[in-house]
Amino acid sequence: MADYLKHICEFIYKYDIFFLSFFLLMNLITFALFRADKKKAEKNAFRIPERDLLGFSACLGALGGLLGMVVFHHKTRKPKFFIWVPVFAILQIILLNLVYKWGNV
């Protein structure tokens, strides 16, 4: 299993511009979703579902979600957000570290 994971990391490292572009894009989209949901909450408009906000955070957008929570003071009192978004961010930082550690062998 570790050998298979190492090959995946080598592949991602080899094509790192696409991976980093996707990572950056997901974080920008997640940040924008948190901003849009905060604006909609202020206007009592139709909101973005929480599963979408958490889903984008889980799919490599946790740093954008965390930044959106801090900058816009949004979803900071909801336990599933102030627990899961930082957990996703930590896991994604570990993933990035493994990709660049194992990919650069």
Domain boundaries, the chain: 24-98
DSSP assignment of 22-87 equals: HHHHHHHHHHHHHHHHHHHHHTT-PPPPHHHHHHHIIIIIHHHHHHHHHHHT-S-S-HHHHHHHHH
Angle (CA) 38-90-92 rounded to 5° is: 90
Token reading at 100: 């660049």
Looking at residue 105, what is its pLDDT? 53
pLDDT, tens digit, 9 for 90 and up, residues 53-87: 999 999 999 999 999 999 999 999 999 999 999 99
How far apart are the C-alpha atoms of 35 and 74, rounded to whole Å? 8
pTM of this structure:
0.84
pLDDT, tens digit, 9 for 90 and up, residues 4-55: 777 777 777 777 778 888 899 999 999 999 999 999 999 999 999 999 999 9
pLDDT at position 95 over 90:
no
Going by C-beta distance under 8 Å and a sequence separation of 6 or more, which residues neighbour residue 34?
53, 64, 65, 68, 69, 72, 74, 75
Looking at residue 104, what is its pLDDT? 66
